[in-house]
Homo-oligomer: A and B are copies of this chain.
Amino acid sequence: MPNTMKNQAAIVGIGQTEFSKDSGRTEMRLAVECISSALDDAGLTPKDVDGMCVFTMENNPEIQVQRNLGGGELRFFARTHYGGGAACATVHHAAMAVATGSADVVVCYRAMNERSGRRFGSGVQDRKQEASAEGSQYAMYSPFGLTTPGSWVAMYTQRYMHQYGATSEDLGRVAVSSRAYAAKNPEAWFYERPITLEDHQNSRWIVEPLHLLDCCQESDGGVAVVITSAERAKDLKQKPVMLKGSGQGAGDQQHMMTSYYRPDITGLPELGLAIREAYSSAGVGPQDIQAGVLYDAFSPFVLITLEEMGIVKPGEAADFIKDGHLDPGGRLPSNTNGGQLGEAYIHGMNGVNEGVRLIRGTSSNQPGDVDNVLVTGGSGVPTSALVLGQP
């Protein structure tokens, strides 16, 4: 049974800092800046906020952020584990709070110095060897050198390419499409810097079969969204963006980025589950989605995401992309902000903001009117998805 929250909550404000490689300030300051900006956008103040939803990986605790914002009491706070898989889950949990009256105004945020501080791309090799399930979860893979996100995704990618005959150029077309959008988005790192397929092919290996340009950026920055009830949303500054559907998913035999013991590793069943949850609560299917913000930490997972969405059948995403369907005028313009490949890697939360802009009609690469956009959280991890739509 899907959740019953269709259109009960709305995103009424979005905010973000600049995206950079060296913010020059603390993660706390980034958090306060992006939240202040989102509240301004909504026409609300810190005193209106009574709930917060964040990642377990967030370094800025809700209470410290609230103190620095100048806010007051909180009566709801929840977190989600599993890295970028939390991106859409923060909004899902906020909607649950609003729908049940557990909070009136919930802020979701992610702020990090992920380039100038600790770089995620460096992986888990610095983690302590601990006799705990959490600490030892990569123990089966580390001895083989699988210690970084790139290495974990490469394993899935090799198998996908082998099974369906996809090529490095097929991955490259995702990389090129994203940077083409980014080139027209002044907020994006790749602004005015489009790349060619040749650039992609010539970029160095990170982990075969992943070239540098198949990998998302490491970025400093903060992103925040504000959620309230559909009713309260009517009186606020912006046209509300309705939360039509939302869901989370963890699959059978789920590991963090390394679910290699499944019978098949060419899909992302946890993502498929989260998407189906979002579709069914919204009462929509793939045919109703006009644009996508598809979590692109690595280009190959964009192909698999299209398949898990039901936009194409398994193995058919490469042809779909080759036909230009992610690009302007295509069937599913996607990652129109440049994605995490081209705009910035803020753990998927910048994708939520772009989803909101697509419904508002304010994307730098707005593909006409959009009734429904699908936004997805992290790929290869327990994850989450949203269907955002018009009021």
Seen from chain A, the residues whose Cβ lies within 8 Å of a Cβ on chain B are 1-5, 26-28, 56, 59-67, 72-82, 89, 92-93, 95-97, 99-102, 104, 131-135, 137, 247-256, 269-270, 273-274, 277, 281, 382
Q: Is the CB of B64 within 8 A of A133?
A: yes
In the bound assembly, the distance between CA atoms of A133 and B76 in angstroms comes to: 20
Q: Is the CB of B56 within 8 A of A78?
A: no
Q: Which residue of B lies closest to A27 (CB)?
A: B132
In the bound assembly, the distance between CA atoms of A97 and B56 in angstroms comes to: 19
Measured between beta carbons, the chain B residues less than 8 angstroms from A256 are 61, 63
Q: Which residue of B lies closest to A130 (CB)?
A: B59
Measured between beta carbons, the chain B residues less than 8 angstroms from A5 are 100-102
Q: Is the CB of A80 within 8 A of B78?
A: yes
- Known interface pairs A3-B100, A96-B96, A96-B100; A273-B73 also in contact (CB < 8 Å): yes
Residue in B65, B100, B248 whose beta carbon sits within 8 Å of that of A77 in the complex = B248
Q: Is the CB of B75 within 8 A of A247?
A: yes
- Known interface pairs A81-B61, A100-B99; A27-B133 also in contact (CB < 8 Å): yes
- Known interface pairs A81-B79, A382-B74; A64-B248 also in contact (CB < 8 Å): no
Q: Max chain B CB contacts within 10 Å: which of A75, A137, A277, A281?
A: A75
Q: Which residue of B lies closest to A274 (CB)?
A: B75
Q: Is the CB of B248 within 8 A of A74?
A: yes
Q: Is the CB of B62 within 8 A of A78?
A: no
Residue in B67, B75, B100, B102 whose beta carbon sits within 8 Å of that of A253 in the complex = B67
Q: Is the CB of A60 within 8 A of B1?
A: no
